[in-house]
Amino acid sequence: DGGITQSPKYLFRKEGQNVTLSCEQNLNHDAMYWYRQDPGQGLRLIYYSQIVNDFQKGDIAEGYSVSREKKESFPLTVTSAQKNPTAFYLCASSTIQGARNQPQHFGDGTRLSIL
């Protein structure tokens, strides 16, 4: 079945540590996205990529980094500079067709907590 796989499901970070969240898709989608979800807030965009080897900052990119070396993969690194990293992280992907981007499809998320 085609879909988006995020791993791990749960992740714990120590102070001063960088951690990397994995996102893989087999939907052949061009665009991929990372969101952060906090209680009582809408999904907030961290980074997005519309093509391999290119990505753009979203609304809350500080303290995060990404890479897009393959079409299928878009890993997110939460660096020690992110002072409030505890959240539910969601990866999404979509096709891009002319003036109407197709809806984004999501993985099942990674919950990151601080030790």
Q: Is 41 in the site for other proteins (CB under 8 A)?
A: yes
Of residues 1-40, which lie at the interface with other proteins (CB under 8 A)?
A: 4, 6, 35, 40
At position 31, the amino acid (one-letter code) is A
Q: Is 106 in the site for other proteins (CB under 8 A)?
A: yes
Residue with tokens 């897009």: 68
Return the number of the residue (37 or 77) whose C-beta is nearest other proteins.
37
Q: Is 115 in the site for other proteins (CB under 8 A)?
A: no
Residues contacting 6, CB < 8 A, separation 6+ = 21, 22, 23, 89, 90, 91, 107, 108, 109, 110
Alpha-carbon distance 64 to 49, whole Å?
14
Q: Which stretch binds other proteins (CB under 8 A): 12-20, 42-50, 61-69, 72-80?
A: 42-50
- How far is C-alpha 98 from the chain's CA centre? 24
16 near 80, Cβ under 8 Å?
A: yes
Return the number of the residue (78 or 91) whose C-beta is nearest other proteins.
91
Residue numbers at the binding site for other proteins (CB under 8 A): 4, 6, 35, 40-43, 45, 48, 50, 56, 90, 92, 99-109, 111
